[in-house]
């Protein structure tokens, strides 16, 4: 697992080589934005994600059916002008159901990603900054959670969360999604701790929590932003897998996972029940991870495509 | 080198033991095995339920510390993991299912590692060419696909293929065809046919992740001075890339392999469930839905031992590749 600790810090020298031609100094934010703008992956991802979010918000407007409506004259029909994505065997409009499911999955993903990143930042910074026993215990918990596959823990905890509303699922997913990033943040904080500006603050008597909040967290914020973006896709994948097997979102609520579970048995004979929600799920996760990947490359010039 | 591996092995062994014990404690607190009997009509008397639960060692009225201690004592003295709620021993249940899971896991992981490393090296060497872009797009798409969607998509493709050919070329439900007559070879062929789609599914997911990491590790290495040195002392490009490039780029991969193995296990469990295999993944999910604490802990122990083996193997590879560890 040492690879995680060795993730290179944003490298100051590489930034300078890019700036050499310009007359006045360029801020880091503008540099990152400039690199992002020249990455095709970023554009594909951000436009895809934007389109999916807009579609989730406004997609039901032009559709004649609500997701609870049953069209008893067209049960199990294939995609047609009346039902764009076809209907299920009891006449539910798959288009409307897909949008409602997509909304839930998107909300969960967009909340869990940033939440998990915040937890990762705080836990990693505390472990790296305080060191000693705090550090040992936190690293130990992280290692333990990496050995126990989190999917199994989600399934074990599901009897509790099934009784609560789907909002509880957000906290469950965020509660187990922070470990990997916390290790990276911890390694980063350990090197930051020895830097002069943090030493100066410490010797001036600034208390620990303020140093973490004012000096450590802003310096690892780029990592946290990347983690939050990549976490969106990961959270959607976890949520749909849990819901697919009946451990996540429960019956009156619809998510892409429950929709795919319903369409699974007919996947070969009536593929529209499965293909449309599946394609939209893959597209959503792919867009989110493309944005995250492009962000990582823009922030860290030594990773991925910037390397020659 | 022996010392290094022994140290890592002990570290993994302690982690696995603690993971198993925590799983037992969590399961004892969350699951309520009595619920299974309370819902019956006519309802068994409390005395009956208590005696059944006491026999299994899962009575919620006993504090979990005592139950945990009894479980450890039984494991150490009798080598038993207790009984499932169906009164079969957990060990025999695991023995019956382990082969099914291991067959899928070992094949899937080995194929994933070979394909992933090859594609990653290929992509790095031909950076920005068409083949590199195609591999990147494909691996991003597979990484964005949940395991169950990938499995079902493969089933749809297989069904279309079977319909097109008019014969049952690829069978994908269950682990073998029930009631199939024939000799050893027929049985073997049947099992291999059933193994095809789940293995492809697991191998695709693994290879997608490995190829991304291998590509980025290989790009680091390609820029290094020693590759140029190797070329200038007269090695061919291919030989320099393999002997000095791939070998070094595999070092971070061995770490990534150990650390991603838990994800592979979860993916294998999902794949087993989708293809309705009676493996360890099914045991794990069933044990939770039936509130079977002993079976759940047994399944977690099985997974922990697999992670222990995979982690140690990765460290052996690491030590073999990296001379700095050996001194």
Q: What domains are there in chain A, each with its CATH number? A: 37-299 (1.10.3720.10)
pLDDT at B237 (0 to 100): 85
Q: A240: burial class by Cβ within 10 Å (0-12, 13-18, 19+)?
A: buried
Q: Is the pLDDT of residue A1 over 50?
A: no
Chain B contacts in chain A segment 200-239 (CB below 8 A): 233, 237
- Whole-number pLDDT of residue A11: 47
Residue-wise pLDDT for B93-116, tens only, equals: 999 899 889 999 999 999 999 999
Q: By C-alpha distance, which of B294, B215, B327, B243 is closest to B55?
A: B294
The total of structural domains in chain B comes to 1
Asked if the model's pLDDT at residue B176 lies above 80, the reply is: no
Average pLDDT over residues A44-53: 94
A87-96, A193-202, B133-142: the lowest-pLDDT one: A87-96
State mean pLDDT over A85-106. 88
Please report which residue ranges of B275-292 form alpha helices under DSSP H: 280-289
Residue A108 has pLDDT above 90, yes or no: yes
Has residue B325 got a pLDDT over 80?
A: no
Residue A308 has pLDDT above 50, yes or no: no
CB contacts of A289 in chain B (<8 Å) are 140, 143-144
Tens digit of each residue's pLDDT (9 = 90 or more) over B3-30: 888 988 998 899 899 989 999 999 988 8
* Measured distance CA(B118)–CA(B123) in Å, rounded: 9
Instruction: Compare all CA atoms of chain B with the CA of A41 and give the residue at the minimum distance.
Output: B137
- State what percent of residues in chain A have pLDDT above 70: 89
Q: Report the mean per-residue pLDDT for chain A.
A: 84
- pLDDT value at residue A233: 92
Chain-chain contact of A282 with B258 (C-beta, under 8 angstroms): no
Tell me how far apart the terminal alpha carbons of chain B are, to the nearest angstrom.
Answer: 7
* Position A86 pLDDT exceeds 50: yes
Cα–Cα dist B71/B57, whole Å: 8
Residue B282: count of CB within 10 angstroms of its CB: 18
What's the gap between Cα B140 and its chain centre?
21
Contact with chain B for residue A143, Cβ under 8 A: yes
pLDDT at A23: 62
Q: What share of chain A is helix, strand, coil (3-state, %, to 5)?
A: 70, 0, 30
Nearby residues of A80 by Cβ (< 8 Å), 6 or more positions away: A74, A86
SS3 A93: strand
* Percent of all residues in chain B with a pLDDT value above 90, rounded to a whole number: 31
Q: Do B258 and A159 touch (CB under 8 A)?
A: no
Mean pLDDT of B278-300: 90
Mean of pLDDT values over B209-219: 89
Q: For residues B285-306, give the mean pLDDT.
A: 90
Residue A228 corresponds to which tokens in the numbers above?
Answer: 């939050």
Question: A239 with A249: CB under 8 angstroms?
Answer: yes
pLDDT at A301: 61
Q: Which of A241, A220, A235 is closest to A284 using CA atoms?
A: A235
The alpha-carbon gap from B266 to the nearest alpha carbon of chain A, in Å, equals 6
Query: What value, to the nearest 5°, has the Cα angle with vertex B39 and ends B36 and B43?
Result: 105
Mean pLDDT of A142-166: 84
Average pLDDT over residues A42-63: 91
State residue A303's pLDDT score: 54
- How confident is residue A211, by pLDDT bands cut at 50, 70 and 90? very high
Q: Tell me: pLDDT of B42 over 70.
A: yes
Size of interface A-B (CB pairs under 8 A): 121
- Predicted confidence (pLDDT) at residue A22 exceeds the cutoff of 70: no
Contact B30 A160 (CB under 8 A): yes
| Lowest pLDDT segment from A35-39, A170-174, A274-278 | A35-39
Contacts 24+ apart (CB under 8 A), A187-190: A187/A4, A187/A5, A187/A6, A187/A7, A187/A128, A188/A7, A188/A9, A188/A124, A188/A128, A188/A219, A188/A220, A188/A223, A189/A124, A189/A125, A189/A127, A189/A128, A189/A129, A189/A216, A189/A220, A190/A128, A190/A131
A163 in reach of chain B (CB within 8 A):
no
Interface test with A, best of B16, B125, B146, B223 (most A CBs within 10 A): B146
Q: How far apart are CA B215 and CA B115, in angstroms?
A: 12
pLDDT at residue A14 is higher than 60 = no
Q: According to the model, what pLDDT value does residue A246 have?
A: 87
CA A119 to chain centre: 13
Q: List phi, psi (to 5°) of A144.
A: -60, -45
Smallest Cβ–Cβ distance between A148 and the set B23, B31, B259 belongs to B23
Q: Report CB contact under 8 Å: A149, B252.
A: no
Element (H, E) at A151: helix A150-163
- DSSP code string of A288-308: HHHHHHHHHHHH-TTSGGG--
Give the least confident one: A177-181, A228-232, B318-322, B323-327. B323-327
CA torsion sign for B215, A229, B204, B138 is: negative
Q: Chain A, 243-282: which have a CB under 8 Å from a chain B CB?
A: 244-245, 260, 264, 267-268, 271, 274-275, 278, 281-282
For residues B190 and A279, which has the higher predicted lDDT (pLDDT)? Answer: A279
Range of the domain at B184: 2-326
Identify the residue with better confidence: B107 or A27: B107
Q: Is the pLDDT of residue A250 over 80?
A: yes
Task: Quote the pLDDT of residue A4.
Answer: 45
Query: Would you say residue B243 has pLDDT above 50?
Result: yes
Select the residue from A151, A229, A296 to test the B interface by mutation, using most B Cβ atoms within 10 A.
Answer: A151
CATH of the domain at B279: 1.10.3720.10
Q: pLDDT at position A24, please? A: 67
- The interface residues of chain A toward chain B in range 4-23, judged by CB-CB distance below 8 A, are 4
DSSP codes joined into one string, B203-223: HHHHHHHHHHHHHHHHHHHHT
DSSP designation for A267: T
The 10 Å Cβ neighbour count of residue B319 is: 18
Within 10 angstroms of residue A64's Cβ, the number of other Cβ atoms is 13
Q: Name the residue facing B26 among A156, A286, A289 (closest C-beta).
A: A156
Rounded to two decimals, the ipTM of the complex is: 0.86
Mean pLDDT across B135-146 = 93
Q: Residue A117: which pLDDT band, with cuts at 50, 70 and 90?
A: very high
Q: Which residues, in sequence order, are CB contacts of B110 under 8 Å at separation 6+?
A: none
Q: What share of chain B is helix, strand, coil (3-state, %, to 5)?
A: 80, 0, 20
């Amino acid at each position: 697992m040492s690879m995680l600790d060795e993730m290179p810090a944003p490298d100051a020298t590489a930034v300078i080589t890019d700036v050499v031609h310009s007359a006045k100094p360029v801020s880091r934010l503008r540099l990152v934005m400039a690199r992002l703008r020249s990455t095709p992956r970023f554009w594909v991802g951000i436009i895809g994600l934007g389109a999916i979010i807009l579609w989730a918000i406004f997609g039901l407007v032009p559709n004649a059916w609500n997701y609870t409506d049953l069209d008893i004259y067209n049960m199990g029909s294939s995609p047609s002008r009346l039902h764009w994505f076809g209907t299920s065997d009891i006449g539910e409009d798959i288009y409307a159901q897909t949008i409602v499911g997509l909304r839930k999955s998107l909300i969960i993903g967009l909340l869990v990603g940033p939440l998990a990143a915040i937890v990762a930042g705080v836990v990693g910074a505390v472990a790296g900054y305080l060191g000693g026993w705090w550090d040992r215990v936190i690293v130990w918990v992280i290692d333990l959670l990496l050995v126990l596959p989190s999917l199994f823990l989600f399934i074990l905890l599901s009897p509790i969360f099934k009784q609560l509303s789907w909002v509880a699922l957000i906290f469950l997913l965020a509660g187990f999604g922070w470990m990997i990033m916390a290790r990276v943040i911890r390694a980063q904080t350990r090197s930051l701790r020895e830097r002069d500006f943090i030493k100066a603050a410490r010797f001036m008597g600034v208390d620990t929590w303020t140093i973490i909040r004012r000096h450590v967290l802003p310096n690892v914020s780029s990592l946290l932003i990347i983690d939050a973006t990549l976490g969106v896709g990961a959270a959607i994948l976890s949520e749909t897998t849990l819901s697919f097997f009946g451990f996540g979102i429960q019956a009156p609520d619809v998510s892409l996972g429950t929709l795919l579970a319903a369409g699974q048995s007919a996947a070969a004979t009536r593929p529209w029940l499965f293909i449309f929600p599946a394609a939209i799920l893959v597209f959503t996760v792919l867009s989110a991870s493309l944005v995250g990947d492009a962000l990582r490359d823009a922030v860290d010039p030594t990773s991925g495509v910037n390397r020659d | 080198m022996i010392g290094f591996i022994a140290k890592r092995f002990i570290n993994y062994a302690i982690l696995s033991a603690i993971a198993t014990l925590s799983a037992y404690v969590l399961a004892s607190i969350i699951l309520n095995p009595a619920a299974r009997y309370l819902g019956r009509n006519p309802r068994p008397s409390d005395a009956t339920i208590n005696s059944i639960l006491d026999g299994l060692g899962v009575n919620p009225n006993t504090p979990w510390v005592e139950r945990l201690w009894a479980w450890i004592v039984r494991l150490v003295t009798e080598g038993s993991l207790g009984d499932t709620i169906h009164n079969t021993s957990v060990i025999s249940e695991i023995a019956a299912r382990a082969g099914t899971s291991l067959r899928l896991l070992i094949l899937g992981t080995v194929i994933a590692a070979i394909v992933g490393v090859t594609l990653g090296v290929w992509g790095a060497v031909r950076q920005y060419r068409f083949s590199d872009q195609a591999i990147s797009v494909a691996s991003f798409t597979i990484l964005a696909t949940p395991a169950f969607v990938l499995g079902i998509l493969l089933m749809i493709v297989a069904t279309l293929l079977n319909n097109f050919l008019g014969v049952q070329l690829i069978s994908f439900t269950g682990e073998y065809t029930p009631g199939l007559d024939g000799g050893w070879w027929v049985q073997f062929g049947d099992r291999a046919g059933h193994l095809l789609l789940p293995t492809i599914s697991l191998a695709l997911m693994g290879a997608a992740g490995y190829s991304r990491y291998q590509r980025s590790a290989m790009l680091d290495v390609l820029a290094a001075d020693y590759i140029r040195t190797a070329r200038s002392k007269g090695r061919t490009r291919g030989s320099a890339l393999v002997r000095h490039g791939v070998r070094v780029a595999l070092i971070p991969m061995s770490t990534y392999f150990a650390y991603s193995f838990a994800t592979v296990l979860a993916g294998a469990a999902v794949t087993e469930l989708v293809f309705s295999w009676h493996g360890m993944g099914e045991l794990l999910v069933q044990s939770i839905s039936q509130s079977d604490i002993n079976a759940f802990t047994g399944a977690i122990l099985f997974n922990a031992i697999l992670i222990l083996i995979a982690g140690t193997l990765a460290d052996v590879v690491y030590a073999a590749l990296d001379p700095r560890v050996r001194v």
